[in-house]
Amino acid sequence: MLGDMRTQVAIIGAGPAGLVLGQLLANAGVESVIVENRSRDYVEARQRAGVLEQGTVELLRENGVGQRLDREALRHDGIYLQWPGTRHHLDFPDLCGRSVWIYGQTEVVKDLVAARLTAGLPLYFDVSDTAVQDVETDRPSVAFLDADGNAQRIECDLIAGCDGFHGVTRPAIPESSSRTWQRDYPYGWLGILAQAPPSTDELIYAWHPNGFALNSMRSPTITRLYLQVGLDENVADWSDDRIWTELTTRLGHPEWELTTGPILDKGITPMRSFVSEPMRYGRLFLAGDAAHIVPPTGAKGLNLAVADAKLLADAVIASYGSARSGPRRARTLVGTADSVPPGPATSAGRGRGPGAARTLVGTAGSVRPGPATSAGGGQELLDAYPETALRRVWRCTHFSWWMTSMLHIEGRDPFARELQLAQLRYLSTSRAAAVSLAENYTGLPYGW
Ligand code: APR
Ligand code: PHB
C-alpha cells in the first residue's frame, strides 16, 4: 500500500541535526516530517560526545527543550591543558565571556524526541529504503518503507539531508557537481564510560609521550575517558586494568588521583576530517555529519550539526515568510521534554510510525505555499545557506584539526613534539592565544 503525504520540509535522519531542525521549524509554524532508519531505543542510546557550546544551550532553551538540561547539565567555565609537570587552567568566562555545558548528545536527542512526539509531530522510526527523488525540480519527494514495510512517499517543498556520514542524501548529489576534502588521522580514540565520580572539576586534555588522554564526564557519578591508540589496536586487547594503568600514567599529575570504577562501555573510534561541497543541490539541503565530519578533539561535531540546523531553519522560515501567505506562527513552543521523562516505550514513539502524526500531514488544508522560488523576498538566506554554513564548517574543521594535531603523538618525530609543547606553553602564557582557543571551544556566534 502506497501512502502519500505532503509536508513543507521532509527531514531525513533523527540525529541532532534533523531533530533540532524539526524543532525550530515547528516553533515557527513550518511543518516537517522526520524519517529515521534506526529505532528510537537505538538513537537514544548511542554514545557520542557530551560538550555543548553556550550557543547550543541557549538555542535549546529558547526552543523549549532546555528544562532537563537546566536541571542536569554541568556548566564548565574552562578546561585544563596538561603536559608532563604542568596542568594549566583556561578560564573561559574571563577569556571570552562564555562557558560550555556537559550534557550527553544522547540526552539532547532524548529531549528532542520527547518534545516532538508529545507535540504529536511526525517522526517515523525504523524506516528502510529511504530515497530522495526529483530534487532538481520544485516537487521533490522522499520515498521510504515504514516500520510495517508499507511504501510511503512524502511530497515536500524541501528535503533536509540530516542522515549523517553514511546516509543517502550526500550520494544523491552527482559527483560531477560535488567536491570533497578528507584527512584520516593515523590514530583513534579508545573511549570508556565508567561508573566513577569525575576526578576533576573540568575536562583535562593531556599531552603525553605515550599518547593523548582526555578526562571527561557525563554526570556527578559517570566519568568518560579517552586514550589515543593506534589504528590497528583491538579493543579486546585492552583489559580494564590495562586501560586504568594507561590512563593513570597519561593523566598523572602530582597530588592528584584518578578515580576508577566499573567500566560500563568500551569502544575504539577512528578520527577523520571530512568536508563535502555543496551543502545544497536543487531542493536538497545537507546539514550535520551528512556534509562534514570533524575529529572529536574540541567537541565540535554535535555543535556544528546544531549550527547547520539553526542556519537552515532560519533560511527556510524566512523563505516561507516571504511567500504571500506563509505559515501561521506557532502560538506555543514545542517543548515538553520535562513532562515526558525519557523512559519506557510509548506506542506513538517506539518502533512504529507516529500515531497522531498522520492527521498533520496529507490533508489539503495543511498544504502551504512553497518557499519563494525566484530571487528576492526571503529566498536570499536559502541561497546563501551553502556558503554561510561552510564558513563555520571550515572554521570548526580547522579548530578540530589544530587541537588534534597539538595533542596527539604522531610517529617518533622529536621536532614535532617540541612544536606541540611550544604551542601548549604559548597557550598557557599568552592571553591572545588562550582567547583564541576559548572563543572557538565555547563556540563562535551563529552567522559568524
Ligand atoms: N534514512 C533515514 N535515516 C537515516 C538514513 C537513511 N537512509 N541514514 C542514516 N540515518 C540516520 C541515522 O540513523 C542517524 O540517526 O540519520 C541520523 C544521523 O544522525 P547523526 O549521525 O547523529 O548526525 P547529525 O545529526 O548530523 O549529528 C552529528 O552526531 O555523529 C555525531 O559526532 C557527531 O556529534 C556529531 C553529531
Ligand atoms: C566527551 O565527553 O565525550 C568529549 C569531551 C570533549 C571532547 C571530546 C569528547 O573534546
Convert the pLDDT of each residue in 313-346 to its tens digit: 999 999 998 543 444 444 456 654 443 333 322 3
pLDDT > 90? residue 247: yes
| Closest C-alpha to ligand 2, atom 3 | 49
- Contact present, 167 and 173 (Cβ < 8 Å): no
Ligand nearest to the CA of 404: 2
Task: Look at residue 260 in the predicted model and tell me its pLDDT.
Answer: 96
| Whether pLDDT at 361 is above 50 | no
Burial of 165 (0-12, 13-18, 19+ CB in 10 A): middle
Nearest CA to ligand 1 atom 21: 164
H or E stretch at 262: none
Query: Considering the chain, what is the average pLDDT of its residues?
Result: 90
Interval between CA 388 and ligand 1 midpoint (Å): 21
Is a pLDDT exceeding 70 seen at residue 124? yes
Considering only CA atoms, which residue is closest to atom 4 of ligand 2?
49
How do 280-281 and 222-230 pair as beta strands?
Answer: unpaired
Higher pLDDT, 335 or 312: 312
SS (H, E, C) 292-357: EECCCCCCCHHHHHHHHHHHHHHHHHHHHHHCCCCCCCCCCCCCCCCCCCCCCCCCCCCCCCCCCH
Q: What is the pLDDT of residue 54?
A: 98
Tally of CB atoms within 10 A around 426: 12
Instruction: Name every protein residue with a CB atom under 6 angstroms from any ligand 2 atom.
Output: 49-51, 203, 214, 216, 224, 296-299
Q: How confident is the model at residue 154 (pLDDT cuts 50, 70, 90)?
A: very high
Confidence of residue 268 (pLDDT cuts 50, 70, 90): very high
Q: Look at residue 349 in the predicted model and tell me its pLDDT.
A: 37
Q: How many CA atoms lie within 13 A of 331 on its CB side?
A: 0
* Residue 48: per-residue pLDDT: 86
From residue 151, alpha-carbon distances to 35, 93, 120, 154 in Å are: 13, 52, 22, 10
Neighbours of 352 (CB within 10 A): 16
Can you name the residues that pair with 83 across neighbouring β-strands? 86
Query: Nine-digit cell at 163?
Result: 542522515
Q: Is the pLDDT of residue 396 over 90?
A: yes
Beta strands 151-155 and 9-12: pairing type? unpaired
The confidence score (pLDDT) of residue 47 equals: 82
Is the pLDDT at 372 greater than 80, yes or no?
A: no
Please give all residues whose beta carbon lies within 6 A of any atom in ligand 1, as ranges: 12-18, 35-38, 43, 48-49, 105, 127, 130, 162-164, 167-168, 288-290, 301-302, 305
Whether 271 contacts 295, CB under 8 Å: yes
Average pLDDT of 347-351? 36
Which residue, chain included where needed, has cell 531542493?
283
pLDDT greater than 70 at residue 158 = yes
User: Which DSSP symbol is given to 445?
Assistant: P
The CA 89 to ligand 2 mean position distance, Å, reads 17
What confidence score (pLDDT) does residue 3 get? 76
Is the pLDDT reported for residue 168 higher than 80?
yes
Looking at residues 274-285, what average pLDDT do you find? 98
Residue 358: is its pLDDT beyond 60?
no
CA 426 to ligand 1 center in whole angstroms: 37
| Beta bridge pairs of residue 160 | 11, 285
Q: Cell triple for residue 109?
A: 536527542
Q: Which residue numbers are catalytic?
A: 76, 205, 296, 300, 441
What is each CA distance from 398 to 295, 402, 412, in whole angstroms?
10, 6, 24
- The CA distance from 156 to 222, in Å, is 43
How many Cβ atoms from other residues are within 10 Å of residue 414's Cβ?
Answer: 8
Lowest mean pLDDT, pick from 95-109, 271-285, 313-327, 360-374: 360-374
Instruction: Map grid coordinates 571551544 to a residue.
Output: 441
Cell of 234: 583491538
How confident is the model at residue 237, as a pLDDT? 98
List, in order, residues 6 or more apart from 382 with CB less than 8 Å away. 280, 285, 315, 316, 318, 319, 371
Q: DSSP letter at 157? A: S
The atom number, within ligand 2, closest to the CA of 205 reads 10
Q: Could you give the CA distance from residue 400 to residue 394 in angstroms, rounded to a whole number?
A: 10
Ligand 2, atom nearest to 48 Cα: 3
For the cut 50, the answer to whether the pLDDT of residue 6 exceeds it is yes
DSSP string, 345-412: --TTTSSSPPSTHHHHSS-GGG--PPPP-SSSTTHHHHHHHHHHHHHHHHHHHHHHHHHHHHHS--TT
Per-residue pLDDT at 171 exceeds 60: yes
Ligand 2: which residue has its CA nearest to atom 7? 299
- Helices within 167-237 (DSSP H only): none
Residue nearest to atom 36 of ligand 1 (CA): 302
Mean pLDDT of 346-350: 34
Residue 261 CA, ligand 2 centroid: distance in Å: 19
CA 290/CA 165 separation, integer angstroms: 5
What are the C-alpha distances in Å from 141 to residues 31, 82, 149, 287, 397?
15, 51, 18, 18, 32
Q: What's the 393 CA to ligand 1 centre distance in angstroms?
A: 17
Q: Grid cell 521549524 — which residue?
A: 25
Determine the atom of ligand 2 nearest the C-alpha atom of 102. 2
